[in-house]
Amino acid sequence: MGIGNNTTLQLNLEKGEPTLVPPAEDTNQKGTLYFLSNVDHRYQVKVRTVYCFKPSDNRGGDDVTEVIRDALSKVLVHYYPVAGRLTTESDGRLAVDCNDEGVVFVEAKADCSIEEIGDDTVTMEKLVYDVPAAIHILDVPPLAVQVTKFKDGGFVLGICVNHMIFDGPAAMDFLNSWGEIARGLSLKVPPSLDRTLLKARNPPKIEFDHQEYLHMEDISNTSELFKEELLYKWFCFDVNKLERVKTKAMEDGVLGKCSTFEAMSGFIWKSRTQALKLKHDQKTKLLLVVDGRSRYDPPLPENYFGNGVGLTSCICTAGELMEKPVSFAVRLVQDAIQMVTDGYMRSAIDYLEVTRANPSMTLSVLISTWTRLSFDSTDFGWGQPFIAGRASLPGKETALFLAHPKEKKSMNVCVSFPASSMKIFEELIDI
């Protein structure tokens, strides 16, 4: 997703009425509540993604909508929580009522060929169905699907997921399983649905200070800045530019080594702070989303269906960040990532059990990387998508890293800025 042209198409769609797709068979789960961990409770947002497929003769005269709908009903038998709805337990916790109500499904038709669509946020959001009444997180179904057919035979699968049910790896496992069934195959690896693996300990054992990133209210003056018109833009960092960022991070000899993610996170955080012109004595925070699946001891099972990610943070003054070299920011990033161990993750789960606190989103920037997610592996029988990825950002203070759809060693970065700051940011990252 995000080739870099940021062009907007006046896309006209004819949408059908939403229907519900229940599991193809009785799941034997009706009347049960599916446990959601404290990690799941953190992510009370919607995530929209799109998968764009060119015309193909692979399936002959098969109707793409019917194939996708039929395979969805079959995969829901294995992933039965996706067919349920969020509810509140007696103690106030959220859980999934496994009522087999079904996935929200919409068919749409576009008045152009799929080759004409751009990759901008405005166009892509039209290709994802968003339940109109879903204001509170309880109203957001686990999954809503829109299949949009184009004049030339191409189609787009747009999905909106409730992040409490899926994180990135879990969503990709679900999509790939869905695609396997659509192609007439059996599931390679069934989902591991036991989320009690991330249940709080009894009694809770809090070993780290998690309040720092959970409750730092009014950490920046960005609330005033973001009253301006907000712009979302994709930037392509090709292989050479990524190398220049890493070189810049290591040029003063402070760092012995650093990964591309670490270098880019520090570079974007520093550049963003400069572009927003934060006060020198103002604290600024970077939240990092880290895949914790392999960091648990023992690691979470393959195809763990749930949120296996962790949050870690870096905090300093804007003055320090702006005046010191990039290596300063990158070292803070490295230290924060190294904190994410089994003990840290389980301590955070226990902290949330005691406090029921949600992360403060009054922050400088949250960075999430989807570069290792296999968007281009999704195949329903018409080949792999030529554009795939996130259709929008979840919030105004977020930056997202994705692999380039064609140049796999390049990276696309999506950021949001007030209009007055975007130009400054563009100049700062042009190295």
In 3D, which of 332, 338, 268 has the Cα closest to residue 310?
338
- The answer to whether the Cα torsion of 33, 373, 74, 132 is positive or negative is positive
Active site residue 376: no
Instruction: Give CA–CA dist 218/241, Å, rounded.
Output: 34
Ramachandran region, residue 383 (left: φ > 0; alpha: ψ -120 to 50; beta: rest): left
Among this protein's residues, is 163 annotated catalytic?
Answer: yes
Q: Where are the beta strands (DSSP E) in 54-142?
A: 85-88, 94-97, 103-110
CA distance 357 to 339: 20
Contact 106, 145 (CB under 8 A): yes
DSSP 33: E
How many helical (H) and strand (E) elements, i.e. helices and strands, does the chain have?
A: 12, 16
Catalytic residue among 40, 100, 120, 379: 379
Q: How far apart are CA 47 and CA 368, in angstroms?
A: 13
According to DSSP, residue 384 is labeled -
Distance CA(168)–CA(356), nearest Å, equals 24
Query: Residue with structure tokens 């203070």?
Result: 397
> Which listed residue (78, 163, 210, 404) is catalytic?
163
Eight-state DSSP code of residue 214: H
Place of tokens 């759809």: 405
**Angle at the Cα of 395 from the Cα atoms of 390 and 156, rounded to 5 degrees:** 20
DSSP three-state, residue 310: strand
- H/E stretch holding 279 reads none
Tell me which H or E stretch contains 414: strand 411-418
Closest to 142 measured CA to CA, from 305, 370, 309? 305
Burial class (CB in 10 A: 0-12, 13-18, 19+), 272: buried
Token pair, residue 269, equals: 């955080």
Active site (catalytic) residues: 163, 379
